[in-house]
Structure 1
Amino acid sequence: MIICLTISKIDWAITKDVFTIIGTISAIVIGAIGLTTWRRQLKGTSEYEVAKKAILLTYEIEQAIQGVRNPMLHLPKDEVESGRRLEAEQQIYADRFVILENKWAELQTIKLESKVIWNNAAAESFNEIRDIIGKLRGGIWLHFWMKGAYAGPGATVDNSAERKIENDKIVYYTSEDDEFTLKIKHAVEHVENFFKDKVRSK
């Protein structure tokens, strides 16, 4: 009877309010914890994806660079027979460079995203690749300049054997250990070294 009396004295309206408040607070706390965890997972996934794309696109650019340097040229027979061999060769290199430039353009987006996440160090990791592309572009230009492609009538072109040999080291892929290939590999490794831990930590 004492127990019944005690229970009957409880103010159920206040008790209900207290439990409602506790339940609401608990829901807020659990929701906040869940949201924080979700944001952390989302951030981790986003960083992983950017790092993975950075490495993948760098590999694709490496392949595109070596594609430009491929010494095999399939010149159209009619172009050669009509005396347009040089123009045909220029078109082949122009087409190859389009592939490289498209990949480089894709990498620019990743470069900006990585800069937002990891600051300037991330963006700077691509600088050697950029320089390699610039040197290759210059080497291709010089290759055709020495063949007289851009020289006007009466212009003297310095196409000494020594100069041609040095430029050919840039223009032509000869082996996995050729001088320019090793520079390309070093540039790729620079990107790998920055991003590889960010991929492996996922």
Structure 2
Amino acid sequence: MNICFSITDINWQLTKDVFEVVASLATVLGVAAAGYFGFQGLKTWRWQLRGTEDHKLALRVLNKLLAYREAMVQLRSPTIWGYEYEALADGGKDWDARRFEAFVGEYTRRQTEVTKFRIELGALFLECEALWDNTLDELFKSVFGLEHEFTMYLYLHLRIINPAFDEFSKQKYQSMIGTRRNVLYNTTGNDDEFQAELNGYLEKMQTYLKEKLVT
């Protein structure tokens, strides 16, 4: 009888030890599984959050690019409406002087609008570089090159038509502008090389941004 009890006690002790090991192992596996799924959930949450941030930033840049493009189109518009000739109300000067002042004033207003959008884009490009890379900033260099080309052409053109300049000065500026392509006004159809180049560069930027909208 004592032998039976001893064997039983030994078996029970062994069983208890086995259960404790199994329970400990299950606990470890449970903690590991919880940690794994928790990590995977955190990764998914971070990915979703990143996707939302990318989407919002891409939309902001896209909208600003469209505003910049429209401002550039207006900048090269050959039409200046009557309300844009505010300086013509000053009757103390002759017609040519008043007309030139109005012309300069309108182009100053248009260029200010373009500059505003360009500066705002520059700030957004810094955000893009922090989240993604500097692709947009590099692509925009070609766009800014076109804007600079227009600015220099306008600079020479305004001196040629300035009634306060003598003919010698005007001829000097005329010879300088003659070496450049005429980008002053936009044209209809497919013969506007300047606008086609601008649209091409902007479309590359839009393609890059649209990829961020679907990731």
**TM-score when scaled to structure 2?**
0.71
> Which residue does the alignment assign to 2:85?
75
RMSD: 3.5
How many angstroms does 1:45 deviate by?
2.1
> Which residue does the alignment assign to 1:33?
40
Consecutive unaligned residues of structure 2, counting only runs of 5 or more, are 1-11
Distance 1:88 1:80 in 2: 13
Identity of aligned residues (%): 22
Distance 1:164 1:72 in 2: 23
> Which residue does the alignment assign to 2:186?
173
Secondary structure at 1:146 match in 2: helix
Indicate yes or no: 2:203 matched with 1:193.
Answer: no
1:86-143: CA deviation from partner (whole Å, max 9, x where unpaired): 1221111111111111111111122122223333333212122111211122122122
Secondary structure at 1:111 match in 2: helix
Aligned pair count reads: 194
**TM-score when scaled to structure 1?**
0.75
Indicate yes or no: 2:69 matched with 1:62.
Answer: yes
Distance 1:179 1:165 in 2: 16
Indicate yes or no: 2:52 matched with 1:45.
Answer: yes
Consecutive unaligned residues of structure 1, counting only runs of 5 or more, are 1-5
> Which residue does the alignment assign to 2:117?
103
Give the counterpart letter for 2:64 in structure 1: L
Secondary structure at 1:171 match in 2: coil
